[in-house]
Chains A and B, each alone.
Chain A
Amino acid sequence: MLHTLKLLLPAIVPSWRFFDFIAPSPRIQFALLNGADDTAQKWHEFRPRPAHISFKQMLARMLWNPHWNESLFLVSCAERLIAFPTRHSEDEILKRIMADLKYHSLATSVTTATHLQFRLLMIKRQGSALQHSVNYHSRIQPLSGQALK
């Protein structure tokens, strides 16, 4: 109860400090593994943004934008994992990667993978160049057979 009230307080007395500084930005990358002790060979970007979105699509997204809003939630989870790692944030990201694997064609081409891991790649500007660094590796999560079908 106290924890929930602590979560509620920033809504009742907001700080309104939107974009006060541009923090390092997380990208979620995942790897499919062949066992609990396998090492990731290839990392895939999770939900890469499309090359282009038309104005018509933007207008439609004013009313219906579940995929992107979920991605924004995952950005929050990633930021929370960097600031104060919790099982909840890790579970939320793993759960959604598994759901995407289940529904997207990527899964159909991968039949041998039994496990999943994600990592957080942080991007920040250092001087005039962009700097990439891996700041977090998740636990290795077994994929249920159903998750890939």
Chain B
Amino acid sequence: MNFVDAIRLTEILLGFAFILQSIEHLKSFTNERYLFLPRLLLALLLIIGFHTTWVVLLLFLLSLTILYHFQGPYNGGSDRMGLLILCCLCLVHLAPSVYWQEIAFGYLAIQLVLSYFISGWVKIVNPEWRSGQALKDVFQFSAYPVSESLRGWAKSPQILFYVSWAVILFELIFPFALFSSTALAIALGIAALFHFSNACFFGLNRFFWVWISAYPALLWFQLRFFTPG
């Protein structure tokens, strides 16, 4: 994927993620509608590619207002990733040369890799994750399982032990996928499935759409820096 296409695809995917988020607030309180209706319109403009530099800048300013309104991210990590992508897109559009544009977009790709690797690292150094207890706790008493029936998974410690290790190992070896475009495509497919399962089990649908918005940056980064010739 070339640089221009990767940026364009990131804009389209992020615009779609922002539209889904914004629509959810349109039936909410009046002051939220005032924040999210403009965001919905700007996200549409981002998708069609209308004056993109101004649109990403306005989206960034609006995101700061939303951050202030909720005194932090509305949905934790997914909002933060959305802001990170938006910041990088702003820098790409404002950068004075292709060199600085690549640095801004490359930063997004590196952060995407770190989002998996560091998540794996903090788990493997924790004995409760290594024993499967942490994942059991998530199902047993955390606020995340979307239904009471899912809490039943806490009674299958053997399965949760293997799932914990599968997640930890996948997150830790993710950076090695950069050495092959095929491996990266497979790794991103598995990662998307991981986010999809988190969306199903824990209702984290916003993570799915925002994280895949950053994938084009990594596909470009791999071709740019890890593919010979």
Q: Which chain A residues have a beta carbon within 8 Å of chain B's beta carbons?
A: 3-4, 7-8, 10-12, 14-22, 25-27, 49-53, 55, 58-59, 61-66, 68-73, 75-76, 80, 86, 88-89, 92, 95, 99, 123-125, 130
The number of A-B residue pairs with CB atoms under 8 Å apart is 142
A11: shortest Cβ distance to chain B, in Å?
A: 4
- How close is A89's CB to chain B, nearest CB, in angstroms? 7
Please indicate the chain B residues that have their CB under 8 angstroms from the CB of A66 in the complex: 24-25, 27-28
Q: Tell whether, in the assembled complex, residue B203 and residue A61 are in contact, meaning their CB atoms are under 8 Å apart.
A: yes
Q: Is the interface of B mostly helix, strand, loop or mixed?
A: helix
Question: 8 nearest interchain CB pairs?
Answer: A66-B24, A20-B122, A11-B83, A16-B118, A22-B137, A11-B80, A68-B203, A58-B200
Complex contacts, B70 vs chain A, CB 8 Å = 73, 92
- B21-46 CB mask vs A (1 if < 8 Å, else 0) is 00111011100000000000000000
B208 within 8 A of A: yes
Query: Is A25's CB under 8 angstroms from B123's CB?
Result: no
In the bound complex, residues from chain A placing their C-beta under 8 Å from that of B146 are: 49-50, 53, 58, 61, 68
Question: Smallest Cβ distance from A4 to chain B, in angstroms?
Answer: 5
Question: Are A69 and B122 also in contact (CB < 8 A) when A7-B68, A53-B146, A130-B141 are?
Answer: no
Interface residues of B (CB under 8 A from A): 20, 23-25, 27-29, 64, 67-68, 70-77, 79-81, 83-84, 87, 111, 114-115, 118-119, 122-123, 126, 128, 134, 137-138, 140-143, 145-149, 196, 199-200, 203-206, 208
B152 to chain A, nearest CB (A): 10
CA distance A18 to B207 in the complex (A): 12
Report the Cα distance A114→B89, complex, angstroms: 50
Chain B contacts for A10, CB-based, 8 A: 80
User: Judging by beta carbons under 8 Å apart, are A12 and B72 in contact?
Assistant: no
Residue of A11, A63, A64 with most chain B CB atoms under a 10 A cut-off: A11
Contacts of B128 in A (CB 8 A): 21-22
Are the CB atoms of A86 and B143 closer together than 8 Å? no
Partner of A14, one of B64, B111, B137: B111
A86: B residues at CB distance < 8 A: 71
Contact partners of B64 in chain A: CB under 8 A: 4, 8
**Interchain CB contact under 8 A, A64 and B71:** no
CA distance A12 to B70 in the complex (A): 18
